[in-house]
Amino acid sequence: MSTDGQPHLYEEVEPEAPPAPINSVRGLIQDPAARNYIIAGAAALGMIFLILLNNGSDIGGAFLFLLGAAGMLLRWPAVPSFFLLVLFYFLVFPFGDPTSAFPTLYELRTGRFRVADVLLVFSVVVYLACHYRIYGIGANGLPYEARRRTKHARRPTHLVRKGELPRFLYLAGGVVLAGQFAWLLATSVDADVNDDFPFFVASDAELYGRRDRRLFDLWQLRVLVIFGIGFFGILLARLVFGYWKLRNMSAAEGVLALQESDWGQTHRERVRIEKWREWQQAKTKKQKEKESG
């Protein structure tokens, strides 16, 4: 109200405070895209803590939860490597004492498609992806080139699409199941080099009993199966998903892909041509300066 009793035409409001920078903890929490990844990463860390607590590793689960949460919020790039090392240690030594580890040889035979293992691997994959997504948004999304003195290039949050996180969760689940199937084959398949098709499904007695001299040793067999699955699986996935990606390309994306392929095949020749061109330009310039002088 004014001094004469008439209402004001415009209401006076206090200006809003500027948003916190994205490279701060407050800025990450306030941004919706980054906050979704923080929540997903925290949920994955909580699941890891519960699984380790069920295995008797309460100290390891709490330490991993604090380490992962601090790494995400403070954007420490080295935390995922230490996280995996600490997780591996507490999986081998659940109570933290190397002398108190129980035998795990039988785990190699039966450790397939167990709910706790599937949830643990899924949670680790989700946490690692969320950590690097948050690092790309709040710290640096591209490698830093010190020679060119380039600035840190963060991923703009408006490029985070609406369904990006659910699609990633589906992909992580598919990767975990593929890994379980690969381990199932690696621990269930035997090979006989004298047969036309050397691979066959063997029982535990055939695999872990007295083996025939014609058969591979267990470590040789598992290395062969894992590398064979990895090579042919990656080759098949690259063919299928590569063709699917080409089918879904727009015209502009196709032009960029062709330019990149052309540069990758002819960059040596182009560099050589550009060197000769610069040399010729420098020679012509020097000759003109000499004639004018």
Whether residues 34 and 147 fall in one domain: yes
**Residue 274 within any structural domain of the chain:** yes
Q: Is the pTM of this model over 0.75?
A: no
* 77 closest CA partner among 161, 173, 146, 142: 142
Could you say which residues of the chain have pLDDT below 50?
Answer: none
Q: What whole-number distance in Å separates Cα of residue 61 and Cα of residue 224? A: 34
Q: Which of 135, 160, 185 is the last residue of a domain?
A: 160
Provide the H-helix boundaries in the chain: 25-30, 32-54, 58-74, 79-92, 107-110, 115-138, 164-188, 204-208, 218-247, 251-292
Encode pLDDT of 11-27 as tens digits. 555 556 667 777 788 88
Whether residues 144 and 269 fall in one domain: no
pLDDT, position 293: 67
**Residue 68 within any structural domain of the chain:** yes
Q: Pull the structure tokens for residue 47.
A: 């699941």
pLDDT, position 275: 86
Q: Pull the structure tokens for residue 116.
A: 């706790």
The number of folded domains in the chain is: 2
**Residue 269 within any structural domain of the chain:** yes
Whether residues 151 and 259 fall in one domain: no
Rounded CA Rg of the chain:
29
Q: Pull the structure tokens for residue 178.
A: 């593929």
Q: What angle do CA 218, 224, 230 make, to 5 degrees?
A: 130
Structural domain boundaries enclosing 93? 25-160
Q: Pull the structure tokens for residue 253.
A: 């994306």
pLDDT, position 3: 56
Encode pLDDT of 187-228 as tens digits. 777 776 666 776 767 766 666 666 666 666 766 777 777 787
